[in-house]
Amino acid sequence: MKSHILACACLSLGLAAGLSGGCAGDNHHTNTPLAEADPQIDIVTSNEDVAVGDSTTLTVKSKNTLGHNAQVQWDTTGGSLSPEDSGRIARVRFDKPGSYTVTAKLMIDGRVYDQDSVTIEAHPVR
């Protein structure tokens, strides 16, 4: 009886704080985690200005994915895009000068929850 009371008290504190799943090591609760906000994705880039032929690395940071299997879908208005690490990283390279948009979409259970875009400027080699 004592352990049950402690487990319930811990779960109540976790829910009040906006956390999920009860106590660490508590395998009795299997509820879907709660989130304080909608799932989000943000692109972090190593360089937004590149020379034609050079590549830049894009990384995504996501939060509030509700404990579900989240995937990242990449798209670009030009150039070549190579996703790595299950879509968390993408390398992009442009063969022609120009301004290109690269977009990452956060997919959860087959549905788009959020997206972020970054503009990359490809400059001619001098």
Tell the residue number behind the tokens 């985690």, with chain if given: 33
Are 55 and 112 part of one and the same domain? yes
Are 13 and 55 part of one and the same domain? no
Give the domain range for residue 77: 40-123
For residue 58, the one-letter residue type is: L
The model's pLDDT over 31-89, given as tens digits with 9 standing for 90+, comes to 444 456 789 999 999 899 999 999 999 999 988 887 778 899 999 999 999 999 989 99
Mean pLDDT of the chain: 76
Number of domains in the chain: 2
Bridge partners of 82, per DSSP, are: 91
Q: How confident is the model at residue 24 (pLDDT cuts 50, 70, 90)?
A: very low
Distance (Å) of CA 126 to CA 66, 122, 123:
48, 12, 9
| Angle ∠(32,36,38) on CA atoms, nearest 5 | 85
